[in-house]
Amino acid sequence: MLNRYSIAAIGLMAVVVASYVFQFYFNLGYEISEQPSDWVDFGDFFNGLVSPLLSFVSLVLLIQSLNLQNQANTELRAEVRLNHKNERLRSFETYFFGLIEAQRSSFANFELEFIEEDGAKTLRGVCAIRALEDRIEAFRERNAQDSEIEEMLEKFDQDEHIYNTIRVFYNIVKMITERLSNENQFDETIRTNQFQTLISFTEFSQLRLVMICMQFMDYPSTDYLKNNHEFMAVLTDLGGGVDHY
């Protein structure tokens, strides 16, 4: 398809030819010669006149061809980068959902031992989290400080069930942040979507335990979560936070 440069070149050639016809045939009244020598001279003249124009047109077409080739190469490189990015995202999601399943399996074995008046009893999963929340509420009713609640939680976590649960969740958040970083050609929108998926696929009782630890416990994992602004923004938007207890 002709572009404006090719059209301009053809137009200029037509103008030059038309100007010569008008000047010599109509204006000066020259007639068409029947002498072969005149046609030979005219051929040499016309060749000298047209050759530079043809060279110019060839140069324009060559430049246009190079531009089209560069554009095609740019689009190809962009497509390769996009395919590479999509492949990394698919690889990440496979690993990501594997970790979520591992987190679910780990929480299925979560248990805490509670000392009651009639002796010790072990609660698992949702029941353990609810009982732990009841203990925190009882502490708050007598105006206990955060440090007292932290001490109480540490006593419950002698077997590190709480610590391990929060650490698994922390590792998934950290993986999202690092593998989907801007340096790896991902953006905040993709990370936000993955944080939303993580929170949605995490059992609600486990998520409440995570928020309890973020509020009261001084773990490296909880510090990381609280200082991860993108994760905290998603958690807050979904109704979570670090001050619910």
pLDDT, one tens digit per residue, over 196-243 is 999 999 999 999 999 999 999 999 999 999 999 999 999 999 988 888
Greatest extent of the chain over all pairs of C-alpha atoms, in Å: 131
Is the pLDDT assigned to residue 86 strictly greater than 70? yes
CA separation for the pair 171, 222 (Å, rounded): 11
Instruction: Compute the distance between CA of residue 202 and CA of residue 209 in angstroms, rounded to an integer.
Output: 11
pLDDT over 80 at 72, yes or no: yes
Has residue 136 got a pLDDT over 80? Answer: yes
pLDDT digits (tens, 9 = 90+) for 143-194: 889 889 999 998 888 888 999 999 999 999 999 999 999 998 899 999 999 9
Tell me what pLDDT residue 48 has. Answer: 76
Task: Say whether pLDDT at 59 is over 90.
Answer: no
Rounded distance between C-alpha atoms, residue 242 and residue 218, angstroms:
13
CA dihedral 142, 145, 149, 155 (to 10 degrees): -100
Q: For residues 59 and 19, give the distance between their C-alpha atoms in angstroms, rounded to a whole number.
A: 24
Tell me the pLDDT of the chain averaged across its residues: 86
pLDDT(68) > 70: yes
Q: Does pLDDT of 40 surpass 90?
A: no
What pLDDT is recorded for position 220?
92
Looking at residue 88, its pLDDT comes to 85
**What pLDDT does 198 receive?**
95
Give the pLDDT of residue 38: 65
Is the predicted pLDDT of residue 2 greater than 90, yes or no? no
Identify the CA nearest to 64 among candidates 12, 2, 115, 118: 2
Is the model more confident about 21 or about 211? 211
For the chain, which residues make up each domain, given as ranges?
A: 4-78, 109-237
For the stretch 187-196, contacts whose Cβ atoms lie closer than 8 Å and that sit 24 or more positions apart, written own/partner, are 188/230, 190/89, 191/230, 192/230, 192/233, 192/234, 194/96, 195/230, 195/231, 195/234, 195/235, 196/234, 196/238
